[in-house]
Amino acid sequence: MQTQANGITIQYELTGPETAPVVMLSHCLAGSMRIWDHQFKILAEKYRVLRYDIRGHGGSSAPDQDYTMEMLADDAAALLDVLGIESAHFMGISLGGMLGQTLTLRHPEKISSLILCDTAAQIPKETRPDWEDRINAARNQGMTALAGGTLERWLSPDFQKDYPEIVEKIKQIILATPVEGFAGCCRAISHFDVLGQLTRISVPTLILVGENDPGTPVEMSEQIHQAISGSVMVQLGRAYHLSNIEAAPEFNENVAVFLSRQ
């Protein structure tokens, strides 16, 4: 389904019991709502589950401009408003986790609890040239130039060997990402820093991270954990960046226990 929110078209899917609490899912850079296929149906047995394509991804609008994390957070808030959802449990991975932190800071009344997966609260300024390199590669050579390196960060070699069909599905999602949207979100990520504001977050927070995540390593989750009072942090197996896929059973169990207590 698609709707207009915050001046763009947002593609979303909403399923599960209509009177149940809402769980909103937000994906990674160069991903789509399908990144949550390992969680969506399971969660929808007990919850009203909303997943959507972030601006610049999937079936949502991809304007050719620099995006900010505030813009992406306001998209999510506007989507909740359009759908008549007053508040939601929010789960975001990587970019989606950055967006979730910003959304909670800007619109705290909309967030019942927060699940932050393989993400960061601060992107080092010294990495900005690396983000510009990725933007230039995408603009000059297309997403094909980035797919291999992205998969190496997202999924361990063992997982890639054992589950080639899942790897291929994820690769196709990467390749389908609009270059304009990828570039816009890279700029949002490269300037992201809310670490000094996280003490303002008071909702129950679960932090999940792959033990061997090379993209947003465990230390970045530790920073968030130390800043958000009462937060719980769990390291997942030997997973890389997409811990929701590589360590899906363990991931899902932790999410289920956390949500059941809210």
CA distance 191 to 97: 15
pLDDT digits (tens, 9 = 90+) for 34-56: 999 999 999 999 999 999 999 99
Q: Looking at residue 79, what is its pLDDT?
A: 98
Could you tell me the sign of the dihedral formed by the alpha carbons of 16, 54, 201, 128, in that order?
A: positive
Q: How far is C-alpha 161 from the geometric centre of its chain's CA atoms? A: 25
Pairing of strands 8-15, 48-52: antiparallel
- 77 neighbors 50 (Cβ within 8 angstroms): no
Query: What is the Cα gyration radius of the chain?
Result: 17
Q: Looking at residue 127, what is its pLDDT?
A: 96
CA distance 117 to 2: 26
CA distance 226 to 233: 10
Q: Looking at residue 76, what is its pLDDT?
A: 98
- 6 neighbors 75 (Cβ within 8 angstroms): yes
CA distance 252 to 226: 23
In DSSP terms, 193 is beta-bridged to: 122
Q: Looking at residue 105, what is its pLDDT?
A: 98
Size (the chain), residues: 262
Pairing of strands 8-15, 111-117: unpaired
Going along the chain from its start, the domains and CATH numbers come out as: 2-260 (3.40.50.1820)
pLDDT digits (tens, 9 = 90+) for 55-114: 999 999 999 999 999 999 999 999 999 999 999 999 999 999 999 999 999 999 999 999
pLDDT digits (tens, 9 = 90+) for 172-217: 999 999 999 999 999 999 999 999 999 999 999 999 999 999 999 9
